[in-house]
Chain A
């Protein structure tokens, strides 16, 4: 396959996945803040979202003060923010258009339809009046695209690069989602803190389509440590870090070439790490520290993929 084609496919998938995960993030924040009328809390939560997305500065330059409506509008619809939902959909579609002959027409048409439709939807008041429905629509479109890929694509290099993009982006976004806190760490009232914490983790679970899985796996009430265990270490949960890392390694194996031994080694070691680490070890190291290292490793693998296979390396 052409390196340039692989590059377009990989980024197409990354942008698609990013749009979905950003919406999941917005959803958690929106849901959690609905449950409180504490303005400090709300403000803090939306700031956290912007920080996680590395968009706080740009937001403040464009809008100034943080408030829910503007943050949602900004993250969904800003033309200047390159990871806004509308930017992600546009870039995914641009990349797909460049290689529309390489993916099946079902995949291309699904992505193209999302693009045409998001432009129509954003001209309606839907986002302002019913953001949840808009979020759900994005998630559904994303699942349809994944479904079109699973259901129609030949399992060849194209498919492998698609999944590399998906899982690298997903691992990154999920790890960042775990970093975010929607409650004030130093809140005076411990009991209140505990309650918001509980809501927070329930919302995180739900946004990763994990609440039902949690109940199935643990058959107990929501406990932060267990939630983290599920999202980080469960080998079979599609949004867990362990699952993403394993898939990354698997697809890298399939496309390996003369230059990719080192990248493959990094991916293999990360996969092994996640298989043989326990949640207690992670907590002992400190979740934040552990996640920071995880993101660094992912970064190195992402750079490796670019250097070994993709277009950037050419000239």
Chain B
């Protein structure tokens, strides 16, 4: 009873003859010529290289300072350029609307006043930051870096699973995976023309430069990291290095007279734009969490004075909250007057009585998520859950319904993956990154994550997920 999933490589043909999709033909021709032993070798080489280059993440709560690599799969995820172009237009449209929504909820609240989204859902939400009300940010851009999670389901249509507008990570893996593929299989790239993505750091730098506070000519840009024991530290150093800017920690910075400075060997130097990889809560102990040793006391004062651009802005969490997600299509219609190009997953909001009744009656078929959750934590996958887990979630939902949403369990598409037992289908998703400053920029690619466990739908690296290189190719002929 093999479940029927849309496969990225093979068309769903009956029985014996499997026909590859057009955009995979060239690659499969190449793959069929490779010995399995060689592929095993290459996989080991990739692991050794990731170790040597130090593309690792620190394992939390481990005194030994253990570092691990994220498993890398050598079979790429391929998009034909036509489909990619449509997808790109879709996510760009979405991010434009989300940025306008963010400006709106911190200013005139037009969408609420039009009755298109409940006021309490926004104003009473813990992700809503009253500190941001009335504050103007350059180009009205809040989410400079957005990671939009895309899945394919059903007969092959694409859905947006969630928008990540706080500190989305993973872009370094998009870039390093491509570098790794080119190093392992140079001949492959001479045969198939893959759209390059290596200029992403330039796009990011341009975005940060044009987001500088008004009147600042040559802005000093920094990347703010929580420090080397953060799981994404490699990415922080990587992006700072690629852009040629300083990588700072909170303790390198101080505030004086409404400006923020970094301590250098030649004395204090003013900072104008901060690509911060630190959550809102930790940014300024004077305003947010008092116990944060990672932030900079007084930072919010500088921000409010308009002397610093934070990328992303404070308070973007209100737009990627899972309880706000169902309204994104409405945002696109309301702010842009356009028809949404990408599908949303139907979502049941447990805060509504009718939805809640449906969710509780159909828990076994649904995926339940915490509205503020991320990283695959605090989630219930109904069909895979035990009786006890179902009972726990039933109680949780009844106790605090507004904390949960539910969605039908999507039949995520699969992509062939080189696992221990050989080449087998595994479920995948995709995170493309959208950059917004004065204008919108994107590289033709994203991070493909793959659930390495057979049948698993959870792709997060913290839950045993791996990654793949993502290709956009122009089909020839």
Query: Quick check: B237 and A101 within 8 Å, CB to CB?
Result: yes
Q: When chains A and B are docked, how far (Å) is the Cα of A258 from the Cα of B53?
A: 38
Task: A97 to B263: give the CA distance in the assembly, Å.
Answer: 20
Proximity bits, B257-289, A CB within 8 Å = 1, else 0: 000001111110000000000000000000000
**Interface presence of B251 (CB below 8 A):** yes
Interface residues on A, range: 20 to 34
Partner of B249, one of A4, A94, A97: A4
Q: Is there contact, CB below 8 Å, between B263 and A2?
A: yes
- CA of A116 to CA of B263, assembled, Å: 33
A100 and chain B: residue at smallest CB distance: B237
- The interface size of chain B toward A, counting residues with CB under 8 Å, comes to 21
Does A62 have its Cβ within 8 Å of any Cβ on chain B? no
Q: Give Cα A271–Cα B333 distance, bound, in whole angstroms.
A: 74
Contact B237 A6 (CB under 8 A): no
Q: Does A184 contact B (CB under 8 A)?
A: no
**Interface contact A101-B52, CB-CB below 8 Å:** no
Q: Which residue in chain A gives the minimum CB-CB distance to B54?
A: A112
| Partner pick for B246 among A2, A98, A112, A157, CB 8 A cutoff | A2
CB pair B264–A1 under 8 Å, yes or no, is yes
Number of contacts between A and B (CB, 8 Å)? Answer: 60
Find residues 38-86 in chain B having any chain A CB closer than 8 Å to their own CB: 51-54
Measured between C-beta atoms, what is the minimum distance from B63 to chain A in Å? 13
State whether A116 touches B238 (Cβ < 8 A): no
Kindly provide the distance from the CB of B232 to the nearest chain A CB, expressed in whole angstroms: 14
Are A101's CB and B248's CB within 8 A?
Answer: no
CB contact list, A70-129 vs B, under 8 A: 94, 97-102, 105, 108-109, 112-113, 116
* B252 sits at the interface (CB 8 A): yes
A107 to B: closest C-beta gap in Å? 12
A111 and chain B: residue at smallest CB distance: B54
Closest-by-CB residue of A relative to B67 is: A97
Known: A3-B265, A112-B54. A97 touches B228 (CB 8 A): yes
- A116→B228 contact, CB < 8 A: no
Within 8 A of B (CB), among A1-55: 1-6
A194 contacts the other chain (CB 8 A): no
Q: Let me know if A257 is at the binding interface, CB within 8 A.
A: yes
Q: Which residue of B lies closest to A116 (CB)?
A: B51
Contact between B54 and A100, CB atoms less than 8 A apart: yes
Taking CB as reference atom, which chain A residue is nearest B227? Answer: A98
Is the CB–CB distance between B265 and A1 below 8 Å?
Answer: yes
Given A97-B54, A116-B52: A3 and B252 within 8 A (CB)? yes
Q: Does B314 contact A (CB under 8 A)?
A: no
Judge whether B247 is part of the interface by a CB distance below 8 angstroms: yes
Nearest CB on A from B50, distance (A): 11
Contacts of B228 in A (CB 8 A): 94, 97-98
B52→A112 contact, CB < 8 A: yes
Q: Of A109, A113, A255, A257, which one neighbours B267 at CB under 8 angstroms?
A: A257
Q: Are B54 and A108 in contact (CB under 8 A)?
A: yes
Kindly state the separation between the CA atoms of A98 and B234 in the bound complex, as whole angstroms: 9
Complex contacts, A59 vs chain B, CB 8 Å: none
Q: Is residue A167 within 8 Å, beta carbon to beta carbon, of the partner chain?
A: no
Given A2-B248, A4-B251, A101-B247, also A314-B52 (CB < 8 A): no
Q: Which 3 A-B pairs have the closest CB atoms?
A: A101-B241, A101-B237, A309-B265
A contact residues vs B (CB 8 Å cutoff): 1-6, 94, 97-102, 105, 108-109, 112-113, 116, 157, 161, 255, 257-258, 309-310, 314-315
24 of the cross-chain contacts (CB-CB < 8 Å) are A1-B264, A1-B266, A2-B248, A2-B252, A2-B263, A3-B252, A3-B265, A4-B249, A4-B251, A99-B247, A100-B54, A100-B237, A108-B54, A109-B52, A109-B53, A112-B53, A112-B54, A113-B52, A255-B265, A257-B267, A258-B267, A310-B265, A314-B251, A315-B251
